[in-house]
Structure 1
Amino acid sequence: MTDLKRLLADAAGDEPAVTDDHLAADLRRGQTSLRRRRLAGVISGTVATALVIGAGYAVLPGLGSSAGAPLDSGVAAQTTPTPSPSRTLSEDQKEKIRRSEAEANLPRVPKPAKPVPLVADGKVRPGTDLVCDLMPKGWEVKVWNLAGNESELIITDPNLKNPTKYNKTSTRMRVRHAAMINNVPEKYGELWVDLQHFQAGEREAVVAPVHEPASDGTRDIHMKLTNTKLLQVTANATGLGWDLATVLRFTGSCRY
């Protein structure tokens, strides 16, 4: 057995001599490896802390598009949103809200078998400079005076029985002053030239749906009179049975 060990040792060759330089190099490598492991641990802890802090900011109210949205992290569950300031409504305000909600649920006026025809008008009415050369036949025109010396025409069917049992957007038309500032018509966020135009008599107009409860197709027509003046008609009441072309024809007959 001893002879076999000697033969194997001779075949493998002599072991390399271990010098002081080798030992010093091994020591330096060990120290470097230890420093790297410690640094990696510090960085990992810092990143984890930053992620936790970041998650906390992500759920604070008012920060980012996802503010207030429920998240799966425990941090989100511990975040308490900033309470909105309380608002105390008066009894009059509460009553107005109740009436508005009740009115929104009222039925609309039945559509007539035939559309109400347009007839000549052109009357100058006291208290307003709004004039329309055409009016729906048989309908009543009243002047509604507003603040700032402005006014509106309120046009209703006097023969309608029990009008209060219907949603009023279906029982009347309104004609009023409107303005255009820096080529942007009021109630719009786009330039006049970028909106779709319709012909209203000899003038151009833009048309938009009314954003009110139960408006059901009622339209806002804004017709251009000058670069700063518009005329607005809120029309297409169900009781008229008018299509958009008739509403535009009526609008084109108005001015101030």
Structure 2
Amino acid sequence: MSPPLFWVDEVPAAGAEAVLSGSEGRHAVTVTRIGVGESVILGDGAGASALCEVLAVKGKDTLRARALEYRFTDRPRPLVTVVQALPKSERSELVVELATEAGADVIVPWQASRSVARWVGSKAEKGVAKWRATAAVAAKQSRRAWIPEVPDLASTTAVRARCAAVIDEGGVVVALHESGTEGFGSIGFRDVPHVLLVVGPEGGLSEEELTDLAALGAHTTVLGPQVLRTSTAAAVALGALGALTDRWDPERSRH
């Protein structure tokens, strides 16, 4: 089993020492019960990480460690953005957790026309903050070098602009829908720089949204014979992308 990962502002170079404190230090010392001589990974959530040996533990929230090995992991290619329509509140964080574990690089919360949940005013700020916190925790649990970016709540106009930008750069936009006329595996993903997945809410994407996305050049795609929940669709699609591209290649650039 790989050592546990904790977030730091600055990853130490090989041979240098670092202090882990605050909430991450408390989790390491009090919850995980890391002791002297054990190994931990310290990462910044932006590609850098270091395998470290714990030299000392102080109190309930502080440890000192020495970096044994420094590593930088590039983002996998193609980059994957998930535009996720707001699900019902009880599944809201689950969507982010599963997408993060499956490898999403960007997770965009979207107020789709059929979304039951409505993020208005301060509720939008709190919702985005929860998604960002969930992404950081899920990335740590899955030993990811990168924490997914979670931008502010997007309107349909903003989603349209994001999709157009991806297509303009040579990327692929895929709207996941049970009425899709293309199989997911039939789309050429391997050589594109960016894949954007659009996932609708519990009621699915509206006809207007599907027509609008198709007019931009998006593919309307079905993942398989089963109808997936909005909370699991992105994770299943990311798993398929891992097999259809080099995203899961263990030899991808690390230095």
Q: Please confirm whether the aligned pair reaches a TM-score higher than 0.5, indicating the same fold.
A: no
Relative contact order, higher structure (CA 8 A, sep 6+)? 2
| TM-score for both structures, normalised by structure 2 | 0.21
The structure whose Rg is larger is 1
| TM-score for both structures, normalised by structure 1 | 0.21
